[in-house]
Amino acid sequence: MTDPRYDDGLPPRRHRFNADADWDQWPVTAYLAENYRRMHASDAAVIRHHSAFYRQFPADGVARSLEFGAGPNLYPLMPAAAVARRIDALEPSAANVAYLAGQLDHPDPSWDQFYALCRELDPRLPANLTDALSRVRVLHADATAVPAGAYDLASMNFVAESVTEDADEFAGLCGIFIHAVRPGGHLVAAFMENMPSYHIGAGLTWPAFPVDTAAVRHVFAPHTERLQVTRVDKDPTLPDYGDTGMVLLQAARIPADDDE
Ligand SMILES: C[S@@+](CC[C@H](N)C(=O)[O-])C[C@H]1O[C@@H](n2cnc3c(N)ncnc32)[C@H](O)[C@@H]1O
């Protein structure tokens, strides 16, 4: 049956693109309930990976970082707060922006367990999560608004592969992410591995493009150095989105990359 959101009377499209989904309808409550109301082993694996990445920088040593497609997930913002003096959380969905903005002063207690792990891994973080989040500015915008080369560091978690069914658009979003940092700037990311388009709860279908370590490496290698791509096994305590685990990345944009 044709999804009524995409029924424009034309023959079925081969792919759904990013603009075909209504991101303002993102089901914040259901997404949090399925993924982030308690810390799963795979969250801890992502946090350990990202914390190790951030520990290479001096405290407060990064002027400006970007969280690309922040969604309602606070945990990628946490380790960044040890080193980034300002963190821009870019997010196009009005629903996610409303949640994020409300969390900066009063984070839900469910985030405390994530913050406790982040602080254990990086004691430079302030005692209080609200103090860490005071570095975050929420930007209500999508990838097209990201200024090239404006950031020293960028982070992206479950975005480029989870927002389109199109291979070229996946690569294009990764390209915007890479070029968000200046040449020599730093990148950290997590991707769902081999995830097809997915449901959250009993809701709408969201477009996804299945990727693995080779696909991620293929897109990032031409523009980066010190590229490290690893993976995490599927976490059986998370919903079955059809994925096979997660892919983790850290890299630096190549210093001579003047291709904006
Ligand atoms: C699967 S969610 C991941 C959210 C969050 N980063 C996390 O770790 O849970 C995908 C996110 O990408 C956002 N998004 C969708 N299209 C985007 C675009 N063109 N540019 C930036 N973000 C986008 C969505 O609104 C949503 O918050």
Cβ–ligand 1 contact at 43 (below 6 Å): no
State the pTM of this model: 0.95
Cβ–ligand 1 contact at 157 (below 6 Å): yes
Of all protein residues, the one whose alpha carbon is nearest to atom 4 of ligand 1 is: 71
- How many angstroms separate the alpha carbon of residue 52 from the centre of ligand 1? 24
Structure confidence at residue 132 as a pLDDT band (50, 70, 90) = very high
Cβ–ligand 1 contact at 164 (below 6 Å): no
Whether pLDDT at 1 is above 50:
no
Q: What is the pLDDT of residues 142-189, one digit of tens each?
A: 999 999 999 999 999 999 999 999 999 999 999 999 999 999 999 999
Cβ–ligand 1 contact at 51 (below 6 Å): no
Tell me how far apart the alpha carbons of residues 63 and 46 are, in angstroms, rounded to a whole number: 23
Structure confidence at residue 244 as a pLDDT band (50, 70, 90) = very high
What would you measure as the largest C-alpha separation in the chain, in angstroms? Answer: 57
DSSP designation for 4: G
Q: Which domains does the chain have, with CATH numbers?
A: 22-253 (3.40.50.150)
- Measured in degrees and rounded to the nearest 5, phi and psi for residue 76 equal -70, -20
- How many angstroms separate the alpha carbon of residue 225 from the centre of ligand 1? 25
Tell me how far apart the alpha carbons of residues 8 and 12 are, in angstroms, rounded to a whole number: 9
Tell me how far apart the alpha carbons of residues 207 and 227 are, in angstroms, rounded to a whole number: 27
pLDDT confidence of residue 13: 56
Give just the sign of the alpha carbon dihedral 24, 30, 31, 33: positive
pLDDT confidence of residue 202: 85
Q: Are 43 and 79 in contact (CB under 8 A)?
A: no
Whether pLDDT at 6 is above 70:
no
Q: What is the pLDDT of residues 39-79, one digit of tens each?
A: 999 999 999 999 999 999 999 999 999 999 999 999 999 99
pLDDT confidence of residue 67: 99
Q: Which atom of ligand 1 is nearest to the CA of 70?
A: 6
Of all protein residues, the one whose alpha carbon is nearest to atom 23 of ligand 1 is: 69
Over the range 75-112, which residues count as b (16 or more CB within 10 Å of their CB) and which as e?
bbbbbbbbbbeebbbbbbbebbbebbeebbeebeeebe
